[in-house]
Amino acid sequence: MSDDNDTKDQFPDRLSVDPNSPYYNADILARDVGIRFKGVEKTNVEEYCISEGWVRVTAGNAKDRYGNPLTIKVHGPVEPYFRDKTKS
């Protein structure tokens, strides 16, 4: 039984909140994913990659010509976690 929980708690190497991205996964995002970047919790992360060690964060309220938020790629250690697990 613990094997099922371990596989459900696995994070993909790359995850995006943009539904048009190939790295979008609604099932995982529904569980309220939190990101710690360089030891600090970030709430403005649009996409992350664990193996390459980067996150894309929104750059204020700026938008591109298609209405999507402008993002900046920042490098460092990435630690995703499920917020629903930390509360209990």
**What pLDDT is stored for residue 45 in this prediction?**
94
Determine, yes or no, domain membership for 43. yes
* Burial of 45 (C-beta count, 10 Å sphere; 0-12/13-18/19+): buried
Instruction: Check if the beta carbon of residue 33 is closer than 8 Å to that of residue 80.
Output: yes
Determine, yes or no, domain membership for 88. no
Where the chain has pLDDT below 70, the residues are: 1-8, 86-88
User: Phi-psi bin for 54: left (phi > 0), alpha (psi -120 to 50), beta?
Assistant: beta
**What pLDDT is stored for residue 86 in this prediction?**
59
Determine, yes or no, domain membership for 59. yes
**Domain around 10:** 2-83
**What pLDDT is stored for residue 58 in this prediction?**
93
Determine, yes or no, domain membership for 53. yes
Edge-first strand order for the sheet with 33-37 is 40-42, 33-37, 78-82
**What pLDDT is stored for residue 3 in this prediction?**
46
**What pLDDT is stored for residue 67 in this prediction?**
92
